[in-house]
Chain A
């Protein structure tokens, strides 16, 4: 059903190697892209600004982290700090009068440079120790940003983002902001979709599966791990600047604390390691599940008179993050993307349930 294979014949190797060999997948992707383009004219302003925009930005960040965690198999617990570097760098440059396009790239480059310094620890050690190194990075970057008034504007200070324009379009109002975020998201998504078909992506996959086996077959693991850190941190920095300019509009250090890193890691794991689609699913679930749960709990307490303390309600998001990470790791380690793949597979071979795809 739906994902029909009948009657589809690939007569050239190119056809087999397409991003979406099945026409249904292709049409679905185009439909979703068109919907995303038309969203500002369809959905209400409130939903656009408070749901769609954060979803797109956080998905892009999750994609960047997924590139490192799922693509190259390196753990990173300090991605929030990477985004903070990009955000602060680009905002300061924009305030100094540099065009936003250049500031965005520069933010990415600075993030990549700093991220690579800490990622260099990954070249000496791995696994657990890498987790520690990146966790330490989060704390150190937080400290540096807060303690240097030249960066943060003093303790407890927020820095306003001036009005900027992107490729000649001034970023004011909801629609231009949304389209800028969507543009960056589409670029990163296309990169992520295609990188795994390139030699770079295959080298990373080899490093992820077993690094000395990769070295044996001639992949320079040193170089590719460093490159993975570089690319991922670059995306993180760019997303950080988009987050600052398009969403927060005024940045303060506490927006980029460990909480952000943890929720990004949760998005990647819940969505599915190494899956592009999963990053979008994961971002949606991690962003919106606490809101929905909170509304549900509020509904319960008002309709049925259940006594639910404000402490409990304020800690629901943390419980949910933790429970989702643990639950997905125990029962569906490949995340929501795997659940979608199972569903797709079911329809693909329907009604022959036991047939392979």
Chain B
């Protein structure tokens, strides 16, 4: 194995992992505030990609205007999702809530390609397609930029949890009824968390759309995001950052090293193996709080 290829795989892997981590951060944000694992996060990313594409290609807006509008629309969509679907499920068993988000995922996966056509949409955000040569290293420019943007956004999300609204959300995640009694509007905090998480998903959808085009396969980000969220600990944003890098590295190295041996397909299974190993060895993840009920 020559070192150059290894270095190339590692660097690309780290940045791809950071892009996965952006989707995972949305899952963590929702889990932190409302204790619900959102299995529709992949579909939200896909929806964001489609929204940005629709505003550029169908409405004809320039891309710098289309992305903020898509973000705003998706924020509202996230809030609406919480208000009209998730809030009705309060008090139901967790299995029902998980199934509801899975149902949303399936529905969006059908509705969006069905309405906009299932062919791959090109989303041009102005990143040139030419690869970047760093010495002898061959790097993908879209991945580099996407990874860096994700990194900054996740840092912003961590900082956000130290702002006033972020502290409110931390209080809600700690104890909903206690926050109620000190005058925090719990429903509003949860709705905002959904909106923010939908916005994060949109950014991820746009970044991924810029690298590989917008189509239904964006919703497959879900399994990778879940692996990252579980490995990092479902309620830890810094964990997402670290776990994202780990998962991205593992996936990239497995694809580069194992694929020639077993004949392809390892990319999809790395995330699953990480999920199973985490659950068996350290169910609360690397940085999560150890509060999983055990029986």
Check if B107 is an interface residue, CB within 8 A of chain A.
yes
- Chain B minimum-CB-distance residue to A138: B272
Check if A246 is an interface residue, CB within 8 A of chain B.
no
The digit string for A123-141, where 1 denotes a CB below 8 A from any CB of B, is 1111111011101111110
Contact of B279 among A132, A139, A323, A333 (CB under 8 A): A132
Residues of B in contact with A, size category: 35 or more
Task: Decide if B106 touches A325 in the complex (CB within 8 Å).
Answer: yes
Check if B280 is an interface residue, CB within 8 A of chain A.
yes
- Minimum Cβ distance to chain A for residue B83 (Å): 12
Check if A316 is an interface residue, CB within 8 A of chain B.
yes
CA–CA, A125 and B114, complex, Å: 37
Check if B93 is an interface residue, CB within 8 A of chain A.
yes
Check if B100 is an interface residue, CB within 8 A of chain A.
yes
Interface of B is mostly: helix
Partner-binding segment picked from B16-24, B47-55, B64-72, B260-268? B260-268
- Tell me the residues in window 247-263 of chain B with beta carbons closer than 8 Å to chain A beta carbons: 262-263
Q: In this complex, which of B39, B223, B262, B272 has the most chain A Cβ atoms within 10 angstroms of its Cβ?
A: B272
Check if B178 is an interface residue, CB within 8 A of chain A.
no
Task: Decide if B106 touches A311 in the complex (CB within 8 Å).
Answer: no
What chain B residues lie within 8 Å of A124 (beta carbons)? 279-280, 283, 294
Contact of B37 among A118, A123, A131, A329 (CB under 8 A): A131
Check if A309 is an interface residue, CB within 8 A of chain B.
yes
- Chain A minimum-CB-distance residue to B84: A330
Task: Decide if B100 touches A330 in the complex (CB within 8 Å).
Answer: yes
Task: Decide if A330 touches B283 in the complex (CB within 8 Å).
Answer: no
Contact of A329 among B96, B109, B234, B273 (CB under 8 A): B96
- Tell me the residues in window 184-224 of chain A with beta carbons closer than 8 Å to chain B beta carbons: 211-212, 215, 221-222
Task: Decide if B107 touches A269 in the complex (CB within 8 Å).
Answer: no
Contact of A73 among B93, B100, B110, B118 (CB under 8 A): B93
CA–CA, A155 and B262, complex, Å: 12
Contacts A135-B223, A311-B114, A329-B99 given; 18 further ones with Cβ under 8 A? A73-B95, A75-B99, A124-B283, A128-B37, A129-B283, A129-B292, A131-B37, A136-B271, A147-B265, A318-B109, A318-B114, A320-B110, A322-B107, A322-B108, A325-B99, A325-B103, A326-B103, A326-B104
- Chain A minimum-CB-distance residue to B93: A73
Check if B82 is an interface residue, CB within 8 A of chain A.
no
Task: Decide if A212 touches B269 in the complex (CB within 8 Å).
Answer: no
- Minimum Cβ distance to chain A for residue B235 (Å): 12
- Tell me the residues in window 104-139 of chain B with beta carbons closer than 8 Å to chain A beta carbons: 104-111, 113-115, 117-118
What chain A residues lie within 8 Å of B273 (beta carbons)? 136, 140
What chain A residues lie within 8 Å of B39 (beta carbons)? 131
What chain A residues lie within 8 Å of B89 (beta carbons)? 329-330
Task: Decide if A269 touches B99 in the complex (CB within 8 Å).
Answer: yes
Check if B159 is an interface residue, CB within 8 A of chain A.
no
CB within 8 Å for A315 and B113 given contacts A75-B95, A128-B94, A139-B272: yes
- Minimum Cβ distance to chain A for residue B98 (Å): 5
Kindly list the 3 A-B residue pairs having the minimum CB-CB distance in the complex, ordered from nearest.
A322-B107, A318-B110, A325-B103
Check if B276 is an interface residue, CB within 8 A of chain A.
yes
Check if B295 is an interface residue, CB within 8 A of chain A.
yes
Task: Decide if A315 touches B294 in the complex (CB within 8 Å).
Answer: no
Task: Decide if B99 touches A321 in the complex (CB within 8 Å).
Answer: no
Check if B9 is an interface residue, CB within 8 A of chain A.
no
Task: Decide if B223 touches A139 in the complex (CB within 8 Å).
Answer: yes
Residues of A in contact with B, size category: 35 or more
Contact of B263 among A155, A211, A312, A325 (CB under 8 A): A155
- Minimum Cβ distance to chain B for residue A79 (Å): 13
Task: Decide if B107 touches A265 in the complex (CB within 8 Å).
Answer: no
Task: Decide if B113 touches A125 in the complex (CB within 8 Å).
Answer: no
CB within 8 Å for A326 and B276 given contacts A311-B118, A312-B114: no
What chain A residues lie within 8 Å of B193 (beta carbons)? none
Check if A69 is an interface residue, CB within 8 A of chain B.
yes
Task: Decide if A329 touches B100 in the complex (CB within 8 Å).
Answer: yes
CA–CA, A131 and B276, complex, Å: 11
The digit string for A55-86, where 1 denotes a CB below 8 A from any CB of B, is 00000000000000100010101000000000
- Chain A minimum-CB-distance residue to B110: A318
Check if B158 is an interface residue, CB within 8 A of chain A.
no
CA–CA, A333 and B93, complex, Å: 11
Check if B2 is an interface residue, CB within 8 A of chain A.
no
The digit string for A95-132, where 1 denotes a CB below 8 A from any CB of B, is 00000000000000000000000100101111111011
CA–CA, A155 and B55, complex, Å: 40
Task: Decide if A75 touches B111 in the complex (CB within 8 Å).
Answer: no
Check if A262 is an interface residue, CB within 8 A of chain B.
yes
CA–CA, A325 and B93, complex, Å: 15
Q: In this complex, which of B103, B109, B230, B268 has the most chain A Cβ atoms within 10 angstroms of its Cβ?
A: B103
Task: Decide if A318 touches B98 in the complex (CB within 8 Å).
Answer: no
What chain A residues lie within 8 Å of B102 (beta carbons)? 77, 262, 265, 325
